[in-house]
Amino acid sequence: MRKDKKPAQQILVPPYILYAGKILNAVSPFFATRFAARLFLTPFRYKLPKREMEMDRSSQKERVTVPSIRREIVVYHYGQGERKILLVHGWSGRGTQLSVMAEALKDQGFGIVSFDAPGHGRAPGKISMMPFFTQAALHLETLYGPFDAVIGHSLGGMASLRAVKEGMNPRRLVIIGTGNSVTHITEEFIRNLGLSPRIAHRMKEYLDNKFQQDLEELSGAVSADAVEAPTLVIHDEDDIDVPVNAAHEIGKSLKNAELLITQGLGHRRILGDQRVINRIVKFLTV
């Protein structure tokens, strides 16, 4: 089975961890909930793919501390263009995850800024969460903005929508394979781990209490309601990590949205598809 036909949790989470979760699910809902919550906040690192090596090699890198979360990120600067684009990777990704897209945008004269979120890539830390992505993006806006555009993939798309809601002001926004409901995301996460649906509810309640916030407030459509910038929403019908209906839900909340629905690309291959990249370039160079 191709990797894009399997949910991310089934690709990234080692089999022994999945097995341990099923045992806890059977004997103790309490410990299964804590186990799942820890896993939900733990990104998995992976070997740098060949397609990302050029951007990784050619980028100027720096370590930056984000004051609001007191966490360190690694920032990549790629290209010398004065019009800056911020790229925001997804969960368990890194600052070079959108490298094929970055190369095309660099060739159009844009300067690319991206980053390893806390706990991802070269950035230190073992746990992470969406607000870390959002606060990192907002801090980079103060350092290198204003950005001509922001492009976010998956969780990075949700974080980008939230960053705009909290004050970032790009001329244009692109989100790819972006989820909407945090509650739905927790349900899918638990299902992909092979745990009982009741654990999803318990985990969401536990995380709400832990962070003193209803995490549903971070949902894509909630943030999208405050976004004024023209936004290109891209999603694939065969995305098994994030259902395509999330794109339609977010699109309805945006004031100025264009939807591009593709087929056969899944959640990850969509990032390197030339037709998708051409559409993004056209959208950003208008």
Residue 151 lies in a domain: yes
Q: What's 213's DSSP letter? A: S
* pLDDT for 1: 43
Q: Are residues 141 and 60 in the same domain?
A: yes
Expressed as residue numbers, the domain containing 25 is 1-40+182-218
* pLDDT for 194: 86
Q: Are residues 156 and 277 in the same domain?
A: yes
Residues of the chain below pLDDT 70: 1-13
Structure tokens at 33: 């909930």
* pLDDT for 158: 97
Point out the domain boundary residue: 218, 239, 271: 218
Structure tokens at 266: 């899944």
Point out the domain boundary residue: 166, 200, 218: 218
Residue 267 lies in a domain: yes
Residue 283 lies in a domain: yes
Q: Are residues 145 and 252 in the same domain?
A: yes
Q: Are residues 173 and 95 in the same domain?
A: yes
Q: Are residues 214 and 108 in the same domain?
A: no
Q: Are residues 161 and 273 in the same domain?
A: yes
* pLDDT for 7: 60
Q: Are residues 75 and 124 in the same domain?
A: yes
* pLDDT for 9: 57
* pLDDT for 26: 85
- Cα 57 from Cα 77, distance rounded (Å): 11
Query: How many domains would you assign to the chain?
Result: 2
Q: Are residues 76 and 137 in the same domain?
A: yes
- pTM to 2 decimals? 0.93
Task: CATH number of the domain at 154, please.
Answer: 3.40.50.1820
* pLDDT for 83: 95
Q: What's 3's DSSP letter? A: G
* pLDDT for 193: 85
Beta bridge partners of 173: 150, 231
Q: Are residues 70 and 192 in the same domain?
A: no
Residue 34 lies in a domain: yes
* pLDDT for 46: 85
* Cβ count within 10 A of residue 134: 27
Q: How many residues appear in the chain?
A: 286
Q: Are residues 74 and 174 in the same domain?
A: yes
The helix/strand/coil state of 65 is strand
Residue 113 lies in a domain: yes
Beta bridge partners of 236: 262
Query: Please, what's the b/e burial string for 53-72 (b: 16 or more CB within 10 A of its CB; e: otherwise)?
Result: eebbeebeeeebebeebebb
Q: Are residues 160 and 208 in the same domain?
A: no
* pLDDT for 5: 62
Point out the domain boundary residue: 218, 236, 264: 218
Residues 161-217 have pLDDT tens digits of: 999 999 999 999 999 999 999 999 999 889 888 889 999 999 999 999 998 889 899
Residue 7 lies in a domain: yes
Checking 276-279 for CB contacts under 8 A at 24+ apart, the result is 276/176, 276/234, 277/100, 277/101, 277/104, 279/232, 279/234
Residue 46 lies in a domain: no
Residue 47 lies in a domain: no
Q: Are residues 261 and 197 in the same domain?
A: no
Q: Amino acid identity of 33?
A: T
